[in-house]
Structure 1
């Protein structure tokens, strides 16, 4: 393979005669054999190391002629700058000549400059009675590239896990931590050494360990699971998390452990808590206001609720008469703020509440720290925290509704709490202004709807608020008493006139959207008729329309994304899968069990990713490639679905029962996909012999459909998540996109979809389709 440099005493006396290759019949035989095997051959003199023969395969591989190779030194066809030097090569030849066979990888440089990887095996052999060092050289460039690609992929996965914002974990079957990412150690405060071998239960509070243990068991039994529980840090802090896990198995299907993700849901939990509080407060306000009781009874009930909602000791309603403030209703232990108590208005907190420059409730967290120490109100009442709002009747201040405590609060009142105080005050004002309910109603609708006006049965304008006056540039004194169509001729023969006249004729509320070209804005009109005319609430929806336009553009980008998924991402996945399979085929006799497992993981991962991409394509195309809704016979839809699923129904011995179906306006292809996904889902989860029933019920504005099965049912803790992307359920081998696609199709048809299920008693999926079909 090489020319020796200098006299090389290690090889003995200089070999003086080079044997012609043509005189060596055994050499020719060896050369021909290795040519046929695709292996390059170099024969070296064991005394000098000189090349005495090469085969055709080697000249093809290196791009040099046999004569050129015999005259070249190793560095002339090697990547010397990568460490493949003359000295290193000579050491290998010397070792082989001394009876120590060598096998190594070498970076060669071809005559055209291309660098390739070769595997070299050198050994001492005898041909035609002569001793030679034979070097067998095989091109391994493809294998090296595959190894580099695989290492890069492993590096990418490892880096992704380490940079993942969610906590990644791998548990042994006994629940001990085997592997984790940096996020888990940073979030818990434990070092890697402390986490190594730690039981997963140690990362959770005592009162949640049973649920975690049950969840781990569920994953090991069913293949996957999701549980919410607080993650316990080293310092004892509890951080709300959602943990999802799936089983990890070996080649024989044996359980190796649980692999999964832990996601911090603190923000989501806080939002849910706030929404729950808001719903509770507004529901209480509505329920109490609707009761048949006196105003005093209602306000006492709401003040009692407000004390708890505001987390303070006292709630009270006051009246203001000149310089005297009186407690009308007081709820709580503070005697200074109990029923009938009076005080000078000049010494009250409420004098700041009724400040005409104030636009919302007055709130104080810590009066002493907020500059109230010298205020007469603080000196008299000693209230450390306070939230109050003004009650007005016909524009005059009549009193206040307040919540207070003699102790400060440790955080600001939330926007929801302030809104509750403001709404409660508005309701009280409304009740006290009963004689002027119409005027009060209009004022409230102005706050809600942005603009408000009214016309009589002849379409003469009877009310015109400042908001609509400003919006169209016409003050109230110019339009009141005028005919709407004469003053605004641009509205004639538009959807506005049509809806106004329809509401007047039918006496049914209606609505419409209209682009007012003259003033370049979009409005949504809510039209409420009565025997005296129409009340119209106008909401500026220009921003919403712009958002819808942006959404349309976003759908276009989604289509572009779908194209990328279909082409730019699918092809690399195919390449990865193909190369890994080639690697497996070429080295199947040399793969140990662990390496074979890695290859199987890689192929399976690529195939699952391809399935997820295909599912995402279907999901994205629900909106972007759906057809216009047309008259659709649902019986025909279900006939097509039964035909498509005939083989699966036969294989599983499933029984499909379909009631008489209606005809409605729908995208027929998407309706086929919707029923097919739901029926297939019922068959797959129900097990052999499942009975699936499809029925329909007419409801307001459309039809409600039900797809029921008598399978094992869905656990309650999974029912809220099954429509999420990639949620596959406890026993599914799918991608977890089918039900998400169902929800997207139903939403496109202006309907809702939900599930009702009891474990062991089957499952029913309900969905509604808005029917625009007119008989």
Structure 2
């Protein structure tokens, strides 16, 4: 305990003596840390009997002690003003009621020492009016949200609160004695100077100006000032409040923008803003769309019953709004549909002063809604709209039940339930994650398994819906491609069959002049030596050569041109010029309209069978030659002798023998005739025998 004496100017009761002494050192009234007497608890009268020069008591209060120490101080030193120090703002009223001249609420983030020094000066400077001054200081400096200020007669800052200091950005030392006009610039500085003069002349004034903070930032503030006088009425200075107008200006700007938006919308959109008075008269504020649909328009002063004579729904909604109920409904007006909002506006007494109505022409929207309902019910594809993360499925067509085998309502409770139907080998979770980032790149084909085990192939594709550059929705279409997949599988099977067929196959484009070949299989290349590139664009005549019968080639070309079937066996030539016997059969390829779209030719190497046939013919020829040589002469001699024997009335038997011999001679001569024809030039046969093997198996 530090014992007081006559030189002490302050008494401290509490535990934080160092802090109070530091504040006393900064105080202009106490004047030093050595002029503070500290007590752990409230001193008695005897303990402070020699402290007659004390100017104030600083008393710390806590939730545990309550106001007990302050009450004891006031009893011991009733004539010394007390400054109570509390931790909670809720304790302010109790401290004031216990006799505190002022209450200091401790808080983090501020310079508590400087603030305490100022409070000590304020309490010690005016002991006669300490109680009233303390309450006013507490209310103005700590409890209010606005800036408090006090100016001397020269317009320099004398007092201020925390809010004022925070708004200016200056510390207490910089604000002390600063001319108030230094916080303003330009025209605002002139307006504030005029307002200060007005206060001194009339006693009060209000002005709006931009406060310029230390860092250059400006804040719109409304300042209200009142004149302070001394006992004889002489002006001592100005006290007042500065209210930050930032939020008010923002609200005013929003209202202006809202008003402009309403005017723009009502002027540019099919929107009508109207009012209904409490007596039931209608007037248009902006927009004429509703009036035009009504035919005669909306005439100010007409009754609701007249204006909306043919719209009972509108009349009922207005009557409900006049009774204080807001309403929103769809109303048919002529051949149009309006969405109407009605809201009652109340006066100060709480009665309906008027009804504000807004009518939006939604005819096209409702027509689109009907169309959308038709699409939902009748579309064969599954059209869907969802949020990017599939939190909700906003729209899906009824075809979902046919394609997925599950009712669309299952997606309401679990938007991702469609994934569970995907075949285990066709998981799409990773693709759906990528869809969130780039929905336009999503293009997937997968299988879904119905509850009954049926499998469907699905082609699913999506694109993004963006608002202000932000992805808000994903729209997609899932098509059942099961039939197409089956056709593709059959087509692949047919393609493999064509590719691996042991007969050469060529496809001709019948829509192009000359019916050129556009495709050949491997067997065609093996038989003819022509691959697809080397024979592309050529007709069937490309297989001909010097030994080819041109008439037979023309017959095949004509059949292809006419879309008929045909077959010819003729000498063909390979790509290297070697001849071979080939059989070419042609047939049309018919489309769904029974029209030939292409032609196909089948090529076979029949050299071996043809040569076998020629070999048989050569053997027959040789046999004929032998028979003709060996039997011809004896038969002719027999014929001559028979003829001589039958000259003189031959008997019947001799005549028959002569006829038989004649027949035999004729047959032998026929065999000789056959021998005179060439079956095939020997040169061609020898050439074919050297090239009859498939190209891939011949010696190089």
- TM-score, normalised with respect to structure 2: 0.31
User: Which fold has the larger relative contact order, with Cα–Cα distance below 8 Å and residues 6 or more apart in sequence?
Assistant: 1
Look at both structures and tell me which one has the larger radius of gyration over its CA atoms.
2
